[in-house]
Amino acid sequence: MSFIKSLIPQKYHADRKVFRSIYSIIIVDLILLFVSLSFVPVFLFIDFIEGAYIMFYSSLAALGYFLVLNFNKNLTTSGNYFVLQILIICLSMMYFTGGISSPYLFWLFCICPVSFLFFKEKIALFWAGTILVSFIVLATAQIFGYPFEQQLTPLVLNITWTISFIFGVLIFVSTFRNFQIGLSKVNQQLKKTNSELKNSNQELERFAYIASHDLKSPLRSVISFITLFNKRYKNQIDEEGQEFLDIISTNADQMQHLIEDILEYSKSKNRVLKKEKVDLNKVLKQIVSHIDSKDFYLDGKVQVSPLPEIESDFTIFKQLFQNLIDNGLKYNHGHHKLVSVQYLEKETELYFMIKDNGIGMEEAYFKKIFEMFQRLHTKNEYQGTGIGLAVCKKIVQNQGGKIWVTSKLNEGSIFHITFPKSILWSEKSKEQIKDKNLLGVEI
Ligand code: ADP
């Protein structure tokens, strides 16, 4: 065993995969070398000169493999040399057994699909290509009358042909079966991994929900006591103490926002959606009046085009548009901040566009901003948690829609949303909801 180990260049010892592959090929080769060398005298003895030649070339090829392995320090895969070696053996067999009409030619073709299963694709392609070239060379030689002599007797030839054929069929069948078995195994594994992933995802979401939910009330009491402390002892603490208190208060507020956003995110997936008539004009009206009531959006304006009535859940649509409009005003330095909400009914979908004249962003971030906790700015520049757009994405996807952004730095951003037309409110939805009410199902 240590002899075989010593044959493998030291640098491949660390990579277990390469090491094992070279190791197994060496063992196969040693057996080949031993068998072919012992058959040379046997074939010579029974006067089967061609057989002796074939065995002689086989052993040369096997020896060649060891030489290459020992001297070529750039070897990255032993497979290439193994393929070359088998090719030399097969070609020598064909040369001595009738050229193009050799029964072994069939074997060469049989090895092709097998090599695709066992070797890397590149090696298998190289293998198939070489066989094709050899086939063309042999055929051309035959056409131009090169005398490949068929040294085998008709009986031996027939037996070899029959065995070749049976083995060929077996190889094809087993290759196909292996392929099928492999495929179904991969499928099973995939299903298992998928369900495991789903479970762990659900667990994580549950964890996020429970953790943020349980953190909410102690944090609320921390904030209340900070406020109380501030009120009662404001005059008794010095400037530095006040500064510390402000830092504590700001951080507690940030934490509260974060917890609320995480809660919203985990709720957004599992929330049981209401099926009600939602007039999006009313949704936007509420949002706009809420924004108007806040003094930090004094220089902001929201323009809304007529919107449709849909069959969905009022709260989640309010949350969706609120997040996007808030962002349009928040990430905006302009003196006349403007966010416009436009709507277009297309042939197969409903299309919404939320456009702002804010700071915009580079194309590299178009996808990233929809991921959890992804922010392009620090908390000192803009307040936020990096969850709002992830929630928007969840809401849109849960309704079978899509959301994406296009933007230009310093010019503004456009958030595009599409929904299937099936969410439009129609007389049919009215009937369906009525039916459900009659059945006593809560909606
Ligand atoms: P948050 O606003 O709490 O940071 P969001 O998920 O809503 O989280 O947004 C993620 C990031 O995407 C923001 O931090 C901001 O950098 C960027 N962003 C979102 N909306 C806009 C917008 N309208 N214009 C420019 N950048 C935006």
**393: pLDDT strictly greater than 90:** yes
Shortest-distance atom of ligand 1 to CA 385: 3
How many helical (H) and strand (E) elements, i.e. helices and strands, does the chain have? 12, 7
Which residues form ligand 1's pocket by a CB distance below 6 Å?
323, 327-328, 331, 356, 358-361, 369, 374-377, 384-390, 413
Whose CA is closest to atom 8 on ligand 1?
386
Mean pLDDT lowest among 164-178, 245-259, 310-324:
164-178
Q: What is the whole-number distance in angstroms between the Cα of residue 375 and the centre of ligand 1?
A: 6
Q: What is the whole-number distance in angstroms between the Cα of residue 72 and the centre of ligand 1?
A: 56
Alpha-carbon distance 345 to 420, whole Å? 10
With the most atoms of ligand 1 within 8 angstroms of its CB, the residue from 322, 367, 376, 380 to mutate is: 376
Whose CA is closest to atom 3 on ligand 1?
384
**Greater pLDDT, 30 or 227:** 227
Torsions phi, psi of 279, nearest 5? -90, 110
Q: What is the whole-number distance in angstroms between the Cα of residue 408 and the centre of ligand 1?
A: 14
Q: What is the pLDDT of residue 436?
A: 54
The whole-number average pLDDT for the span 193-202 is 89
Cβ atoms of 94 and 50 closer than 8 Å? no
Contacts of 213 (CB under 8 A, 6+ apart): 263
**Greater pLDDT, 6 or 244:** 244
Residue 203: band (very low, low, confident or very high) from pLDDT cuts 50, 70, 90? confident
Q: What is the whole-number distance in angstroms between the Cα of residue 323 and the centre of ligand 1?
A: 9
Single-letter amino acid code for the residue at 179 = F
Q: What is the pLDDT of residue 176?
A: 67
The whole-number average pLDDT for the span 61-77 is 63
Q: What is the whole-number distance in angstroms between the Cα of residue 11 and the centre of ligand 1?
A: 50
Q: Which of 54, 57, 50 is nearest to 152 (CA)?
A: 50
With the most atoms of ligand 1 within 8 angstroms of its CB, the residue from 331, 340, 396 to mutate is: 331
Please compute Rg for the chain using Cα positions.
Answer: 38
**86: pLDDT strictly greater than 90:** no
pTM greater than 0.85? no
For residue range 233-274, list pLDDT tens digits in order: 888 888 888 989 988 998 898 888 888 888 887 777 667 777
Alpha-carbon distance 423 to 37, whole Å? 79
Cβ atoms of 25 and 69 closer than 8 Å? no
Q: What is the pLDDT of residue 443?
A: 31
Whose CA is closest to atom 14 on ligand 1?
375
Alpha-carbon distance 119 to 20, whole Å? 14
The whole-number average pLDDT for the span 176-197 is 84
Shortest-distance atom of ligand 1 to CA 358: 24
The whole-number average pLDDT for the span 73-95 is 63
How remote is the C-alpha of 164 from its chain's centroid? 43
Percent of the chain clearing pLDDT 70 (strictly above)? 70
Q: What is the pLDDT of residue 118?
A: 58
Q: What is the pLDDT of residue 291?
A: 83
Residue ranges of the domains in the chain? 2-194, 198-253, 272-438
Rounded to the nearest integer, the mean pLDDT of the chain is 79
Q: Any idea which fold 272-438 has? A: Heat Shock Protein 90 (3.30.565)
**Greater pLDDT, 150 or 376:** 376
Shortest-distance atom of ligand 1 to CA 374: 10
Q: What is the pLDDT of residue 137?
A: 73
**440: pLDDT strictly greater than 50:** no
Shortest-distance atom of ligand 1 to CA 375: 14
For residue range 88-128, list pLDDT tens digits in order: 777 777 777 777 667 666 666 666 666 665 555 566 666 66
Place of tokens 């009358």: 145
- Element of type H or E holding 338: strand 337-345
Q: What is the pLDDT of residue 415?
A: 97
